[in-house]
Amino acid sequence: MRSFTGTVTLVRFYLKRDRYRLAIWILGIAIAVAGMAWSYPESFPTQPEIESRVSMIRDNPAGTAMTGPGHALDTVTPDNYGPMIVNDIGSFTAIAVALMSIFIVIRHTRKEEETGRSELVRSAIVGPHASTAAAVIVAALANLLLAIFIALGMVVQGHPGIGSLAFGLALAMIGLVFASIAAAAAQITQNAGGATAIGGITLAIAFALRALGDVQESALSWLSPIGWSQAIRPYAEEQWWPVLIPIATSLVAVWTAFMLGTRRDVGAGMIAAKPGPANAGPRMGTSFGLNLRLQRGSLIGWTIGVLIGGLYIGLMASEAESVFADMEIYHEYITIEGATLTDGLLTTFIMWITIVSLGYAIGAANRLRSEENAGHAENVLATSVSRLRYATSILLNSIVGSLVVVSAGGIGLGLVRMSDTGNTSELFRMLGAAVAHLPAIWLLVGITIALIGFVPRALALVWAFVAYIVMVEMFGPLLGLPDWTYEGSPFRHTPQLPAGDVSLLAIGIITVIALGLMIVGILGFRRRDLYA
């Protein structure tokens, strides 16, 4: 047990250090689930509307792939929305819970090694497995607390207690599995980005296996942690034995993490970094080229992911007229005055694509701070590279990269539309609609750079703003939020294409504000001390 010496102390330290971060994750997910569940009686007040919604999922493979197998959907009535709620929001909530768990574990394991803080901690009376065990325990506690809040939120709304407990437990099991997978991934690579990528790829594979298994009604779903949670069947004659599968998987993954941890040096990974070429090319001799090389993997991954998302959304939109025509609730959600139902749906989905792309844009801009914390910026700035040049190169990578990622989503959607309509112009119409939201993305990049320049410790505010945008733009209509709540979202002021009109004035104003924030942030970075 000496290998775990100091685990309790580290658990207490991690909880205190991340108390605000954990509160945002837990309360944000729990409130979102409760809010969406609360909207169902108003959104589907009658049995015909419920049946239309159920048929949309069951009769549309794309709908089944997006949500789930639809356990007990035939039992949904105005007095029993539970099965529909679980099916509709369960998969997406599972993604959020999995990401929360991955980020928690990577932050306290591989990230600590990457920055050198883990070596300082290990120099005290701390066992070699203490940090990994503490990180997994913190993630498990966060998931347990989230499960309790979700269950309470459902019970308060009148849903059965057993089904609510099963719903919360099912989501907690997903978080536990991916926390354990992240612990193992942290032993494999030498940097936090690589470990996070392994967790993200595993999550994407799990979602794909679940989707294919549900569409084909095959056993593929049993290869996915998301499929295991759905097998618990909340509000649908719950069965508890599937809980044993994620628990066993988590134990194996954590044990693997411990074994791998004993076979590597502190700061190293099981996969050694490839030696670089003896001589760098001309591009690597520039600050922009160096940052582009560091961002290459992330840019490629985000581009491919958003491209696939665009293709998938195109397939969904192809059936918009037939699927949504008889469902009044969705008319209010996606219809824009003067536009067809299909264009209204495309406008909504394109906005979702661009909001998702915020993840890359902000992450790329945040490299200005993460490289500083890791000590890499100091090494670069010790050469002839000025702070202005260094910060500008990272900013340009974020701007250009976000253009590439957003364009990929528009191209994916446009290719499907072009195939459906036989009209080549659809490709350029969808691409233009996606690119029109870039000023809103650049505004968030500008806010990030400005905070790094003056108050880098307040960077969490950017992600809080992103959470607000996601809430109002993706769930606002279903939650019945008042009109004034939308005005703070920059995506509300960019052109709502292809359904709306182009406003060059709005684009110009947002772009000017974004550029102003970027300039102010870079000037602030030039003036302040590093690590401040």
Distance, CA of 285 to chain centre: 34
Residue 475 placed within a domain: no
| Angle, vertex CA 376, rays to CA 373 and CA 381, nearest 5 | 110
- C-alpha span between 479 and 404 (Å, rounded): 32
Structural domains of the chain, count: 1
Higher pLDDT, 299 or 471: 299
Paired tokens of 298: 């992330």
User: How far apart are the two ends of the chain, measured CA to CA in Å?
Assistant: 39
Does pTM surpass 0.75? Answer: yes
Output the CA torsion 182→183→188→190 (10° steps): 90
- C-alpha span between 326 and 49 (Å, rounded): 9
For 502-510, which contacts have Cβ atoms below 8 Å and span 24 or more sequence positions? 502/436, 507/436, 507/439, 510/439, 510/440, 510/442, 510/443
Residue 177 placed within a domain: yes
| Structural domain that includes position 211 | 7-269
Return the number of other C-beta atoms located less than 10 Å from residue 133's C-beta.
21
What integer is the mean pLDDT of 294-312?
84
Residue 307 placed within a domain: no
- C-alpha span between 398 and 64 (Å, rounded): 35
Paired tokens of 253: 């993954």
Residue 233 placed within a domain: yes
Residue 414 placed within a domain: no
- On average, the pLDDT of the chain sits at 86
Return the number of other C-beta atoms located less than 10 Å from residue 250's C-beta.
22
Confidence at residue 518, expressed as pLDDT on a 0 to 100 scale: 95
Residue 247 placed within a domain: yes
Characterize 332-345 residue by residue with b for buried, 16 or more Cβ atoms within 10 angstroms of its Cβ, and e for exposed.
ebbbbeebebbbbb
The model's confidence at residue 104, banded by pLDDT at 50, 70 and 90, is very high
Given a contact cutoff of 8 angstroms between Cβ atoms, the answer to whether 87 and 71 are in contact is yes
Residue from 360, 439, 446 nearest 404 by CA = 360
Q: What is the DSSP string of 240-251?
A: -GGGHHHHHHHH
Structure confidence by residue, pLDDT tens digits, 420-461: 888 888 899 899 999 999 999 999 999 999 999 999 988 888
E strands in 27-169: none
DSSP letter, residue 220: G
Residue 358 placed within a domain: no
Structure confidence by residue, pLDDT tens digits, 32-47: 898 888 888 877 888 8
DSSP3 helix / strand / coil % (the chain, rounded to 5): 75, 0, 25
DSSP letter, residue 441: H
Confidence at residue 444, expressed as pLDDT on a 0 to 100 scale: 95
